[in-house]
Homo-oligomer: A and B are copies of this chain.
Amino acid sequence: MPDPAYPTPEAAEAAFYAAFEARSLDAMMAVWGRDDSIACIHPLAAPLNGHAAVAAGWHSMFLAAGQFRVQVEVAHEMREADQVIRIVREYLIIGQETEPRPPILATNVYRKETGGWRMMLHHASPLQVGGTPPARTPPVVLH
């Protein structure tokens, strides 16, 4: 596959989610930055660092996954000249289901490299829908 050029962070993000939905490892890895400091965190999983580990993580996920579609909604964005961070909600619709599963929250970091924008970091985590943010520590128990 020729090395694709993504003219904007949005183009890189569209390619990322298209590769995710297509479960295509080649298309997925084409979106990632050339620097080996890239990092990917799948929901609840340990961080994967560098191309080999990031590719192995997607390979396992694609092997395990059935067909699905993903809808992406941008929650927040931080733009700099050479870097954009986008916090998005991912809604997965599995197989023949008609309603999306509870959303996954992802922080996506894109950086401008020679040849275009590429993904540097993807941190995905479950989002508890409809609940209040859980405390990180149990409430104080008064005796």
Contact = CB atoms under 8 A, between A and B. Distances in A.
A133 B87 contact: no
A66 B123 contact: no
A39 B78 contact: yes
Contacts of A125: 41, 43-44, 105, 123, 125-126
Interface residues of A, number: 49
A136 B77 CA distance: 24
Q: How many copies does the complex hold?
A: 2
A127 interface: yes
A98 interface: no
A66 B105 contact: no
Contact of A133 (B46, B66, B67, B137): B46
B45 A133 contact: yes
B128 A45 contact: yes
Interface in A47-103: 47, 49, 57, 60-61, 64-68, 75-78, 83, 85, 87, 92, 94
